[in-house]
Amino acid sequence: MTWDQMQPLLVQGCVDTLYMVGWSTAVAALGGLPLGVLLVLTDRGGMLRNTAVNKVIGAVVNVGRSLPFIILLVALIPFTRLLVGTFIGPTAAIVPLAVGAIPFFARLVETAVREVDHGLVEAVQAMGGGTGTTVFKVLLPQALPSLVAGLTTTVIVLVGYSAMAGVVGGGGLGNLALTYGYQRFETGLMLATVAVLIVLVTLVQLLGDTAVRLLTRHERKGG
């Protein structure tokens, strides 16, 4: 296969991969952020201490993280078909990608929020600040660099997950590598796909690291 033949396939594969990863990252952030914060707030010493709720959320997150993605991908086929009408294609792949990423990101959020200086939380509480004020004025702003780092890690994991989604016709670079590179023995296209994935992950990591450095610098100046 010549480069002229590979180029449109790689471009479409990149577009599909970015589409899947972008939407699943957004869903993972919307779902994982509140779960991670709740894990901290409902734990011992938290402002909303509730052992039962904390254990339930923790169990759900642990189960979600322990399942290999390929198994989750297959197990969610009925749910995916019910939700989007099919289990094949980039849009269908967003469902298992997001479900797999939510508990992963939730644990990263929990770790980031726990790193916030407890003295700042106590100071806000001493001034009459409630749970909402503490979360949005102290916990999330102070944990922002770590949250961005966690989100960067999540995006990179999702790029890998999206490649696995190609096994069940999820589209993207993974499907391209499987359909053309493996099944049709197009070694050149397989290597090109791997190279594109490496570049994509590297760019995500660089952007994430840059954002973390800028946020950390701004936080220090603000302090």
Which has the higher per-residue pLDDT, 214 or 166? 214
| Averaged pLDDT of the chain | 89
| pLDDT computed for residue 70 by the predictor | 86
pLDDT digits (tens, 9 = 90+) for 41-70: 999 888 899 999 999 999 999 998 888 888
| pLDDT computed for residue 82 by the predictor | 93
**Two tokens at 105?**
């990101």
What mean pLDDT comes out for the span 197-219? 92
pLDDT digits (tens, 9 = 90+) for 167-188: 777 778 887 877 776 667 778 8
pTM of the model: 0.90
Q: Is the pLDDT of residue 6 over 90?
A: no
Q: CA-CA distance, 206 to 200, in Å (whole number)?
A: 10
Dihedral pair phi/psi, residue 59, rounded to 5° = -65, -45
pLDDT digits (tens, 9 = 90+) for 123-162: 888 888 888 989 999 999 999 999 999 999 999 999 988 8
| pLDDT computed for residue 44 by the predictor | 87
| pLDDT computed for residue 183 by the predictor | 67
What CATH number should be reported for the domain whose range is 3-222? Answer: 1.10.3720.10
DSSP 48-108: T--HHHHHHHHHHHHHHHHS-HHHHHHHTHHHHHHHHS-SSSHHHHHHHHHHHHHHHHHHH
User: Which one, of 208, 204, 207, lies nearest residue 196 by Cα?
Assistant: 204
